[in-house]
Amino acid sequence: MVLLKLKFPFQKRVRLAQGLWLLSWVAMFSGAVTFATGVFLKTELHRRSEVMHSMDIHIVPNLLMAVGLASVGINICAGKVCQDSLDPSRFPRWKTLLLPFFCLSVFFTSLLLVAMILSYALQPSLEESLKIGLKNGIRFYKDTDTPGRCFQKETIDRLQIEFQCCGNTNYRDWFEVQWISNRYLDFTSKEVKDRVRSNVDGRYLLDGVPFSCCNPASPRPCIQYSLLDNNAHYNYEYQSEELNLYNRGCRQALVSYYMGLMNTIGPCVLLVFLLQMAILVGLRYLQTAMEGVLGQENVEIETEGYILEKGVKETLLETKEKMMKLLQFAQVGDASAETPGSEPEAEKPATA
Amino acid sequence: MAVLKVTFTKTNRDKLAQVLWVLNWVSVVTGVTLFSMGLFLKVEIEKRRELMSKEIDSVPNMLICVGLTACAINFLGGKICYDCVDTTKFLRWKLLMLPYITCTFFFTFCILVGALMCYSMRKDLEESLYFGLRDAMRYYKDTDMPGRCYIKRTMDMLQMQFQCCGNGGYRDWFHIQWISNRYLNLSNSDVVERIRSNVEGKYLIDGVPFSCCGLYSPRPCIQHQITNNSAHYNYDYLKEDLNLNRRGCLQALLEHYTQIMQSIGLIVLIIWLFEVSVLTGVRYLQTAMENVLRQGDPDCESDGWLLENSIADTARYNFNIIKNLGKCYQVDDDPNIDVPSTSRQMQENVPVKQIPEAR
């Protein structure tokens, strides 16, 4: 049974072709926008690559870029098909190309949906990547004289200022790492010696944070050191002091930022997907309707258009059979190539 | 003798009218550009309003006004040029043409003034920023005073964003008390001594706010006891270039605004040149069309010019018009204005000569 059959008079076919031609140009533009979105997202992720452990999330912008470019190509092609479908003499040249074209188009269009799903599905992966990346970033903060890590301090400071965050989860993360290089510690000082000795790993830990954790919204000058010691500062109580430092961790800030981007990009990608699907459905109707005109003297006759010639189940079975035949044919070809001497022997006449 | 006389055929006139019609529409877009740039500059200045002692709105306001005027004038110009293809349609604009060209000339002059103002604004801006930043630093500590509670935040944001420190440099912070008494332990001997040692009873320190810290410094930021080498290990404040932002915020902001002004100034100058060329074209079209009307043949050749007489003659002629206008207004003050003259009485006694009617 034919799936979603529609009747198309000549006028309706012309209108469909013109409408699809216009839509394919709109979709081409939206494909370019999708590509640009992918580039933007890739750039944004790349900017923070120093505080990311894995690059799994890059699959989303890569998909968007690939699909965006493919969409431009597909829609230029679709526009050409629509233009040629108005002229029955020019349409037959597309007959053999249209089936592979549809398969390719459906594949790339479904990738849009995959990209959108992945953008949400990879959130835990992004979070984990940032957690490890930021942990390493904070750990290597002091290594300004180590090649390959010399800009880590600047990166973390910039990040904390730009995103108004502090540490990985919060400012207390800085208390657990030595973020002041030994180069700037006076080891002749008793206070420094005692602090280093009191630590198992021989690290210089203190209840202080870098300047980039300071919050400009605080009414008092920033307190960076002896944060847990109320006696070290006048009129100060660290439990109730909320504005002195940024309370939000950088992981949360970055995840919120990237998910905000994804949440904006997601619906746009969905709209592009729906538009692309609408064009493909329309193009399929146009193709099947035009096939009814081929070989007819009167090109203005009414024809039928459909999505599938048979039901979904039957079409799937038929496709499966075709694939099996193709595979068998390939195997047979391989076997004959392996035993080239067997054929002439079989052809010899039998001798008594 | 006419200045820059050019002869136009019917085809030339039509082409000129069409080109000017397009150019007028392009000028509408340039008007929108002028308006947008004025608005952008106004917003940029407004963003730093707290750091300026006096308002510097003349340039953006000028650009906004000129931009809107450009849209209106060039919209009208487009309509005129469109109608200039047809001689009969041109007749209705004939009276408006001279006032239109005069207005456009003054408006074009205003664009030039706007462009020059962009370049001359630096001095006022520098003065305004100098006093504005000085006051902002002075009120940095007053976070609990209404009207000044956001000055600290503004100043910190500025220093972080522009990577600057103080007004002329970080040492400016040493001359003011930037820590509020609210956060000073006045029972502490060190604090008391420091206040006593100052004539005005201010708590001055060789320290700066956290926002002065340099991002590129390889070591954790040193904010307090900056000039005391022995207070920090492996430190020499004379050689330490990266610890704090060296550049003053006055210089940073001036550079920021100067860059914007120079870019806008250049664009406005280009727009001015474009407007002058459009105005010249419209003037040629007007004079050529008027000469067509004089000759009575719409398809004939006609001369177009910028000025009918030489520049000196035109100036003299316009000066006389202005002088006569002045005299015209002075007539009202004449004490003899209501006294009937003998000549008038004699004229009244003269019998009126009747004109015979044509039968």
Average pLDDT over residues A115-133: 88
A-facing residues of B in 175-194 (CB < 8 A) are: 178-180, 182-185, 188
The per-residue pLDDT for A304 is 66
What pLDDT, in 10s, does the model give residues B124-173? 889 899 999 989 998 999 988 888 888 898 999 999 989 899 999 998 99
CB contact (8 A) between residue B220 and residue A210: yes
Q: How many CB atoms lie within 10 A of CB B79?
A: 13
Long-range contacts (CB closer than 8 Å, 24 or more residues apart) made by B283-290: B283/B101, B284/B6, B284/B8, B284/B16, B285/B13, B285/B16, B285/B17, B285/B20, B285/B81, B285/B84, B286/B97, B286/B98, B286/B101, B288/B8, B288/B13, B288/B16, B289/B13, B289/B84, B289/B87, B289/B90, B290/B94, B290/B97
Hey, is the C-beta of B161 within 8 angstroms of any chain A C-beta? no
- Provide residues of A within 8 Å CB-CB of chain B: 144-145, 150, 153-154, 157-158, 161, 179-181, 183-186, 189, 210-212, 214, 216-222, 224, 234-235
pLDDT above 80 (res B86):
no
Chain B residues near residue A217 by CB distance under 8 angstroms: 153
In this complex, the residue of B152, B183, B220 whose CB is nearest that of residue A184 is B220
The per-residue pLDDT for B129 is 93
Q: Where are the domains of chain B?
A: 9-135+251-317
The per-residue pLDDT for A151 is 82
Residue B274's closest CA among B118, B116, B108? B108
CB contact (8 A) between residue A179 and residue B221: no
Question: Residue B353 — very low, low, confident or very high, per pLDDT cuts 50/70/90?
Answer: very low
Chain B residues near residue A183 by CB distance under 8 angstroms: 219, 234
DSSP B307: B
A-facing residues of B in 119-158 (CB < 8 A) are: 143-144, 149, 152-153, 156-157
- Quote the CA–CA distance of A115 and A269 in Å, as a whole number: 8
CB contact (8 A) between residue A234 and residue B188: yes
DSSP A53: S
pLDDT above 60 (res B289):
yes
User: Which of B154, B155, B176, B183 best tests the A interface by mutation, with the highest count of A CBs <10 A?
Assistant: B183
In this complex, the residue of B179, B182, B210 whose CB is nearest that of residue A211 is B210
- The chain A residue lying nearest B208, using CA atoms, is A221
**Could you give the C-alpha distances from B265 to A35, A254, B73, B108, B257, in angstroms and in order?**
36, 40, 21, 14, 12
What pLDDT, in 10s, does the model give residues A163-190? 999 999 989 899 988 999 988 999 888 8
Q: What is the mean pLDDT of chain B?
A: 81
DSSP B175: G
- The chain A residue lying nearest B217, using CA atoms, is A154
The per-residue pLDDT for B359 is 44
Question: Residue A227 — very low, low, confident or very high, per pLDDT cuts 50/70/90?
Answer: very high
HSE value, Cβ hemisphere, 13 Å, CA-based, for A338: 6
Residue B80's closest CA among B70, B69, B67, B92? B92
A-facing residues of B in 190-229 (CB < 8 A) are: 209-211, 213, 215-216, 218-221, 223
